[in-house]
Structure formats: C-alpha cells, structure tokens
C-alpha cells in the first residue's frame, strides 16, 4: 500500500506540471501538423521523440542553437566520438531544432512574429509529447544600456517600447494586451548560477522588447531616422531610469505566451554594445562569438545544477 501511495503522489506531482496549451481545440484534433517545424502527430511519435524534455533553450540563430546543443552534449557527458546532432526540423528551413538528453535547443529567428509562431508549435509539441515540468530559457543577444559590452542581463520584467510590462497583439481586429510576467524565483536561481561561475559581469534588470532593430530601438544608423541624436539620448536615458538594462526583440512574446500556459520562462541575453555610446555592432567577430557563449555557459550551469538536484533532492 505504501508503495502504491507514493506512486500516486509521484503521479500527482507529475501531472500538476504537464504542458498544456490553453486552446481546447488542440485536444480535439485528429492530427496536428506543426507546419513550421515540419513535424506531424500522425507521422512522428512525439512522446518517444520528446517525452523526456525538461529544458527548452531558444535563441535567434540556427547555427548558435546547434552549437549550444553540441556544447550541452559535452557538458552533460553525452558526447562521444562521431556523435551527430541532427536537425529534427530538417524538412524545413524555417526553424532548427536539436535534442540532447532532456535539453531541446530551438531557433526562433528574429522578432516577435517569428518567435510567436515557433512558441505556438513548441507548446503543442510539448503537449503532444506529454512533457512535464518544462522550463523555457531564451539565450540571446541584445544592446545594453549603460553596461560594459559582454555583460549578461537576466530579465526581471520584459517591457514594451513605452516601458510597460505588456505584450499587445491585434486578435480578430481588436487590441489584446497580455502581461509579460517572468518568474522571480527562476531569475534568482539564474543569478546564483552567474555568481557560482563569476566569469563575466551579470545583472538582473528590465529588458525592452521592440519590433524593430533600427528606429524601433532609437538607432541613428538605419535607412530611415526621424529624430535627432539628442532625442535618442533622452529616450535611452529615460529607459535607463525605468530600470531597463538592455534592448532586444523577443522577450515580451516569450513571457506572454509561456506565462499564459503556466510554463516557467526566463530570458538571459548578453549585451553586444553599450547603446549610450553607439549604434553599430562593430566588435571583431571572435569577440562577438565569445560574448554569445556567455548566456550558454550560464544556462548550462543552471541545467546541470537542476539535474543534480533532481537526482539528489535532499542534497545528501
């Protein structure tokens, strides 16, 4: 009896955190074609392919997400000579996806629309695979405000270009506003990982999510520019005063969609430049490559710590 009781308890805990889209139509579908992943529930065995996924790391570039998968394989001791990390979405060039043990590494392209589409299909994939207790983390790049280039920002709140913690979308012709809540406990856990490593400057701060890289981020170097250097500085200083440490293009939709489905989500971005000092991303290629590895190193440490804690929950 005791053992069946503990099994029931285990099952209850398990089912508490199953990934679940909020759309009831999904459960009623005979077949679900995840068109932009080139995967379908009728031709792929989702539970067998993805059932053990616990961490989904997302980032803009397919090459960076492939490099992250290879790096995680080494870090988790799953790498071996001749090992290959095939792109699971090889039937399409929209997104790339790699799996290493419990870690799924997925590219999302640039900006909110591309990321939104990827997230709809990702959450349905995790649901069809019966995944539970999944954490989603964006490992990305950004422009810093008042930070030394190469600093890493762990996002406390994702805000829009008016510094509001909201994500706005037009649905059936009407403006719908969603909150962009991020999990403070996860933020602190990630910060502790940065403190464990002490390899690069890391801060917790707000992240501004924009729909454009140029005028949308107050740059003076785009093909269009409808304001002055003084206007730009005033805007970035106001952002800085509102607690904004960096600017990128995906955090708000990530927070809104994962938040709506109760999936813990975090955003960890390196800053490629200090926007108070310029607009062009002009550091040498090797410097930018090393900067982009910083969120990966932090998140790899987080994943290893989480896995070790799961194996030894009482820390004995």
Q: Distance (Å, rounded) from C-alpha 19 to C-alpha 194?
A: 28
Q: Which stretch binds ligand URA (CB under 6 A): 2-10, 42-50, 140-148, 191-199?
A: 140-148
121 part of the interface to ligand R2B, by CB under 6 A: no
Is residue 287 helix, strand or coil?
Answer: helix
Stretch that binds ligand URA, among 159-167, 242-250, 282-290, 301-309 (CB under 6 A): 242-250
How many CA atoms within 13 Å lie on the side-chain side of 243? 13
Stretch that binds ligand R2B, among 23-31, 90-98, 139-147, 154-162 (CB under 6 A): 139-147
Question: Which of 213, 225, 274, 288 is close enough to bind ligand R2B by CB under 6 A?
Answer: 213
Residue 139 assigned as binding residue: yes
Interatomic CA distance for residues 287 and 304, integer angstroms: 26
Window contacting ligand R2B (CB under 6 A); options: 3-11, 84-92, 134-142, 215-223: 134-142
Residue 237 annotated as binding site: no
Q: Is 247 among the residues that bind ligand URA (CB under 6 A)?
A: yes
69 binds ligand R2B (CB under 6 A): no
Looking at residues 231 to 290 of the shown chain, list those that interact with ligand R2B (rule: CB under 6 A): 248-250
297 is in an annotated binding site: no
Q: Is 219 labelled as part of a ligand binding site?
A: yes
Residue 30 DSSP label: S
Question: H helices within 17-155, ranges in order?
Answer: 46-50, 62-75, 112-128
Tell me phi and psi for residue 98, to 5 degrees.
Answer: -135, 145
Q: Which does 259 bind (CB under 5 to 8 A by kind): ligand URA, ligand R2B, none?
A: none
Question: Which positions from 177 to 216 touch ligand URA by CB under 6 A, shown as an x/- string?
Answer: ------------------------------------x---
> Are the C-beta atoms of residues 112 and 208 closer than 8 Å to each other?
no
Site membership for ligand URA, residue 115 (CB under 6 A): no
Neighbour-count burial for 82-97, b at 16+ CB within 10 Å, e otherwise: eeebebbbeeeebbbb
Determine whether the annotation assigns residue 141 to a binding site: yes
Give the H or E element holding residue 107: strand 103-107
Q: Which residues on neighbouring strands pair with residue 59, listed in sequence order? A: 107
Determine if 217 is a binding residue for ligand URA (CB under 6 A): yes
Selection from ligand URA, ligand R2B, none that 247 binds (CB < 5 to 8 A by kind) is ligand URA
d(CA 252, CA 239): 16
- What distances in angstroms separate CA 311 from CA 5, 13, 101, 305, one per listed residue? 21, 16, 15, 10
150 known member of a binding site: no
Q: Tell me: is residue 179 an annotated ligand-binding position.
A: no
Positions at the binding site for substrate: 217, 219
Positions at the binding site for phosphate: 94, 138-141
Chain contacts with ligand URA (rule: CB under 6 A) = 141-143, 213, 217, 247-249, 272, 281
């Amino acid at each position: 009896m005791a053992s069946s009781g503990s099994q029931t308890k285990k099952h209850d805990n398990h089912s508490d955190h199953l990934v679940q889209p909020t759309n009831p139509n999904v459960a009623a579908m005979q077949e679900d074609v995840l068109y932009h992943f080139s995967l379908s529930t009728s031709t792929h065995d989702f539970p067998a392919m993805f059932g053990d996924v616990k961490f989904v790391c997302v980032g803009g570039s397919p090459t960076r997400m492939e490099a992250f998968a290879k790096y995680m394989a080494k870090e988790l001791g799953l790498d071996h000579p001749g090992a290959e990390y095939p792109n699971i979405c090889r039937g399409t060039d929209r997104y790339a996806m790699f799996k290493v043990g419990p870690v799924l590494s997925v590219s999302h392209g640039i900006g909110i629309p591309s990321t939104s589409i990827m997230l709809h299909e990702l959450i349905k994939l995790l649901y069809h695979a019966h995944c539970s207790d999944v954490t989603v983390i964006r490992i990305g790049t950004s422009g810093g405000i008042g930070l030394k280039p190469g600093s890493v920002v762990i996002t406390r709140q994702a805000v829009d270009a008016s510094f509001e913690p909201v994500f706005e979308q037009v649905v059936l012709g009407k403006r719908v506003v969603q909150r962009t809540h991020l999990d403070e406990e996860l933020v602190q856990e990630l910060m502790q990982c940065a403190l464990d490593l002490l390899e690069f400057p890391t801060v917790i701060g707000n992240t501004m999510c924009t729909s454009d890289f140029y005028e949308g981020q107050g740059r003076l170097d785009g093909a269009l520019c409808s304001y002055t250097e003084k206007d730009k500085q005033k805007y970035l200083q106001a952002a800085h005063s509102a607690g904004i440490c960096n600017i990128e293009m995906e955090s708000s939709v990530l927070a809104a969609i994962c938040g709506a489905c109760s999936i813990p989500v975090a955003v960890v971005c390196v800053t490629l430049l200090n926007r108070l000092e310029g607009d062009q991303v002009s550091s040498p290629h090797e410097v930018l490559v090393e900067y982009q590895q910083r969120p990966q190193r932090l998140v790899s440490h987080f994943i290893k710590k989480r896995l070790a804690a799961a194996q030894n929950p009482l820390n004995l």
